[in-house]
Amino acid sequence: MSPELLSALTVFVLAILVGFAVISKVPATLHTPLMSGANSIHGIVLVGSMFIAVEAHDLASQVLSLIAVAFATLNVVGGYVVTDRMLQMFRKKPVTPKPTEPAEG
């Protein structure tokens, strides 16, 4: 096992553990936004798509990398925007003044 692979593996395992720790604390209310937020994070695959695009010299690679870049950007942009829309709704809202005491029993 090469040192590079070993360090990549270390990073991989630690990141998984961090993911478990971070997520298990989120209340159910936020699970859908969270899922959507996590969904946008794997849009990081755009970075990888850019790598293959600049190295694309034949038609097959160029087509594949164009689709990859477009797909990944769709994932990133759509993911973050839709998550933000969901979370926007949780904000503030002038809480309607509650009646002090219920009228009757």
Partner 1 sequence: MDFETISILVRLAWLVGASAFVLGLMRMNSPATARNGNLLSAAGMVIAIVATAIFLLARPTEEGTGFNGTGWAIIVVGIVLGGGAGLYSARTVKMTAMPQLVSLFNAVGGGAAALIAIDDYLGLTAAPSPQVNVATVLDIVIGSVTFSGSLIASGKLQGLIAGKPILIPGGQLVTLALAAVTVIGAVFLWAGNLSLPVMLIILAAALIFGVTMVLPIGGADMPVVISLLNSFTGTAVAMAGFVLGNDVLIIAGALVGASGAILTKLMADAMNRSVLNIMLGGFGGGEGTVTEAGGGGSARAIGADDVAIQLAYASHVIIVPGYGLAVAQAQHAVRELAELLEERGVDVKYAIHPVAGRMPGHMNVLLAEANVPYPQLKEMDEINPEFDRADVALVVGANDVTNPAARRPGSPVSGMPILDVDHAKSIVVIKRSMGRGYAGIDNELYTNPKTGMLFADAKDGLAALTAAVKAL
Distance (Å, whole) CA 69 – CA 52: 9
| Minimal distance, residue 23 CB to partner 1, in Å | 4
**CB 75, CB 39: distance < 8 Å:** yes
| Minimal distance, residue 21 CB to partner 1, in Å | 9
Q: Which of 75, 42, 68, 41 is nearest to 53 (CA)?
A: 68
| Minimal distance, residue 100 CB to partner 1, in Å | 9
